[in-house]
């Protein structure tokens, strides 16, 4: 306790083989929280040692996603830093030196086995039901032997020469003491035949050279730790602290969440729900969905449909961590203040789309009106319903503010603004939902006449009195005079002016539309009713 803890340096090291997914973000978040909450540094590194699998298009979206979430990094490929470069593909020389050293100290060896020979060994072991470990049959023990193998046309990889007995013991900050027998470890390849280096080697070298103090990563790396410790020790590096997070599981199961199982997850009702509401937003935007990114497992889905990064982070921080038995709401600052590795769970946590949705809803409710308005603008622009984001004070700004206010909780994600398209489309253009039209305007025999009569009342109302309170008063009066139920007229008016049966308060809707639009729309609806009646 009296010892001053050094400021931690953590890293998030995605490989650009695909887009950022929920589990990856949770790992990034925990790394960020741990470092930044303790006055340390958070480093972004791109682990792109496998040229074959890298997807060039994935690199920029990863950075974008991190920025959107506000997980800012102190050092990284774009901003540089004292240990640059921060892309493994640009650090090969460093790795080659390390490989050389490992060969020199006898911790690694040149291996000339062909893939076929390896496969044979493996199959033989499997047939005899014994655990397989490479026989080192094509291990070169001298320069002379190397030349001989090369003369046979063989190509060499570099393998780790793992210990054959003893136990690797390390202290995991989350799991406690972990013990793994060395004999169970393979002689992993650290350098390919083409001279490029593999993840384990690169990762250990970089973590050391970048002075990473804490390696916080998902549990699937737990079994990688032993071989990485072996490499680090052979290279004479001090060991960092390890913390292995439980992985994020599928909704309603214990399997690891995977972005490739979208189709399967769509069978899960809550998952399907958020997917489909996202789909409606994309439809309204007239955008084709890219199956690579339009996936609730992938972070971009949330960015594209208008979630709040705060909500996502709040949900994610509780996936495997908790402060106590009741605190659920965390701002960025609160997370930073309270996060600790000691309170990270050991068991995997299932991704629950319904709970994410609940956090989003609560966060959205708390946003000041102006923030919501700002969030909604890009969607309206994208849909082509407004030319550009209006400045405060402009009539259009005022109008959208009004809509957002009246829509209230119906806007859970910013993209939900698009359900109110009828408020932005022309009086003669907005579409009618045929089912609602049928139910509210064609079927009730009195509907046409009542609607026409109410339109007459509205015409009497001077434009400056066309506000919700006054409109409601007028309708109440109208209903009373005629001895009808309010439901007989209100639904008819709603469908007439919006084209659909659902929406926010009717009087507020009329107010937003204004007198001229309201009347024009009612007239259009009346004509439509007459056409239908004439036809039948």
Partner RNA sequence: GGCCCCGUCGUCUAGCCAGGUCUAGGACACCGGCCUUUCAAGCCGGCAACACGGGUUCAAAUCCCGUCGGGGUCACCA
Site for RNA in 173-202 (CB under 7 A): 175-176, 178-181, 184, 186, 188-189, 192-194, 198-200
Name the one residue in this structure whose structure tokens are 């809707």.
509
Residue 79 vs 486, nearer CB to RNA: 486
Binding-site size for RNA (CB under 7 A) equals 92
Q: Is 131 in the site for RNA (CB under 7 A)?
A: yes
Q: Is 115 in the site for RNA (CB under 7 A)?
A: yes
Looking at the annotation, which residues are catalytic? 259
Q: Are 44 and 284 in contact (CB under 8 A)?
A: no
Cβ count near 320 (within 10 Å): 22
Exactly one of 4, 288, 347, 534 binds RNA (CB under 7 A); which one? 347
Exactly one of 135, 145, 224, 374 binds RNA (CB under 7 A); which one? 224
Q: C-beta of 469: minimal distance to RNA in Å? A: 10
Stretch that binds RNA, among 217-225, 281-289, 292-300, 382-390 (CB under 7 A): 217-225
Give the long-range contacts of residues 487-491, CB within 8 A, separation 24 or more: 488/444, 488/446, 488/447, 488/450, 489/450, 489/451, 489/454, 491/439, 491/440
Tell me the three-class secondary structure of 51-106, residue by residue: CCCCCHHHHHHHHHHHHHHCCCCCEECCCECCCCCCEHHHCHHHHHHHHHHHHHCC
Exactly one of 155, 209, 331, 533 binds RNA (CB under 7 A); which one? 155
Q: C-beta of 115: minimal distance to RNA in Å? A: 5
Q: C-beta of 418: minimal distance to RNA in Å? A: 15
Euclidean distance between CA atoms 22 and 69, whole angstroms:
12
Name the one residue in this structure whose structure tokens are 């609730």.
296
Contacts with RNA, 57-96, as mask; x by CB under 7 A? ----------------------------------------
Q: Is 340 in the site for RNA (CB under 7 A)?
A: no
CA 159 to the chain's CA centroid: 37
What's the CA dihedral at 450, 456, 458, 462 to 10 degrees?
A: -170
Tell me the three-class secondary structure of 375-398, residue by residue: HHHHHHHHCCCCCCCCCCCCHHHH
Rg over CA atoms, the chain: 32
Stretch that binds RNA, among 204-212, 233-241, 319-327, 525-533 (CB under 7 A): 319-327
Contacts with RNA, 408-437, as mask; x by CB under 7 A? xxx-x-------------------------
Stretch that binds RNA, among 140-148, 231-239, 371-379, 403-411 (CB under 7 A): 403-411
Chain residues 461-520 in contact with RNA, contact rule CB under 7 A:
472, 486-487, 490-491, 494, 501-507
Q: Is 267 in the site for RNA (CB under 7 A)?
A: no
């Amino acid at each position: 306790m009296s010892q001053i803890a050094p400021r931690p340096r953590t890293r998030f090291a995605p490989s650009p083989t695909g887009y950022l997914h929920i589990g990856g973000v949770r790992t990034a978040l925990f790394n960020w929280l741990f470092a930044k909450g303790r006055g340390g540094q958070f480093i972004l590194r791109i682990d792109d040692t496998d040229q074959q699998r890298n997807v060039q298009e994935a690199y920029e979206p990863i950075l974008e996603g991190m920025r959107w979430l506000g997980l800012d990094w102190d050092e990284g490929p774009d901003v540089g830093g004292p240990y640059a470069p921060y892309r493994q593909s640009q650090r090969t020389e460093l790795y080659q030196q390390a490989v050389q050293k490992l060969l020199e100290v006898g911790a690694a060896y040149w291996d000339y086995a062909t893939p076929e020979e390896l496969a044979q060994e493996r199959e033989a072991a499997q047939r005899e039901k014994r655990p397989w470990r490479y026989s080192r049959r094509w291990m070169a023990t001298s320069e002379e032997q190397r030349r001989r193998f090369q003369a046979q046309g063989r190509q060499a990889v570099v393998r780790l020469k793992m210990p054959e007995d003893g136990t690797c013991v390390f202290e995991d900050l989350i799991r406690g003491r972990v013990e793994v027998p060395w004999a169970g470890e393979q002689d992993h390849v650290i350098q390919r035949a083409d001279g490029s280096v593999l993840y384990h080697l690169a990762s250990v070298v970089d973590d050391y050279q970048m002075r990473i103090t804490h390696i916080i990563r998902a549990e699937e790396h737990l079994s990688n730790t032993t071989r990485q410790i072996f490499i680090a020790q052979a290279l004479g590096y001090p060991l960092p602290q390890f913390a292995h997070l439980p992985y994020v599981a599928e909704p309603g199961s214990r399997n690891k969440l995977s972005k490739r199982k979208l189709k399967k997850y769509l069978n899960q009702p809550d998952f399907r729900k958020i997917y489909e509401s996202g789909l409606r937003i994309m439809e309204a935007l007239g955008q084709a969905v890219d199956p690579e990114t339009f996936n609730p497992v992938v972070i971009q889905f949330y960015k594209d449909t208008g979630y709040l990064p705060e909500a996502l982070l709040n949900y994610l921080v509780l996936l495997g961590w908790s402060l106590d038995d009741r605190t659920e709401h965390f701002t960025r600052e609160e997370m930073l203040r309270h996060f600790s590795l000691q309170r990270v769970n050991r068991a995997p946590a299932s991704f629950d789309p319904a709970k994410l949705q609940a956090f989003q809803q609560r966060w959205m409710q708390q946003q000041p009106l102006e923030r919501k308005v700002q969030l909604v603008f890009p969607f309206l622009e994208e849909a082509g319903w407004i030319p550009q984001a209006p400045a405060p004070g402009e009539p259009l700004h005022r109008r959208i503010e009004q809509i957002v206010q009246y829509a209230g909780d119906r806007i859970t994600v910013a993209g939900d603004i698009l359900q109110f398209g009828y408020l932005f489309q022309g009086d003669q253009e907005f579409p009618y939902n045929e089912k609602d039209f049928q139910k509210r305007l064609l079927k009730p025999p009195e509907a046409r006449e009542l609607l026409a009569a109410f339109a007459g009342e509205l015409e009497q109302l001077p434009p400056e009195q066309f506000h919700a309170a006054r409109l409601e008063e007028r309708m109440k009066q109208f209903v009373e005079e005629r001895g009808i139920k309010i439901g007989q007229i209100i639904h008819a008016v709603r469908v007439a002016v919006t084209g659909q049966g659902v929406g926010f308060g009717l009087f507020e809707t009329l107010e937003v539309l204004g007198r001229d639009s309201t009347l024009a729309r009612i007239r259009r609806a009346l004509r439509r009713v007459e056409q239908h009646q004439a036809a039948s």
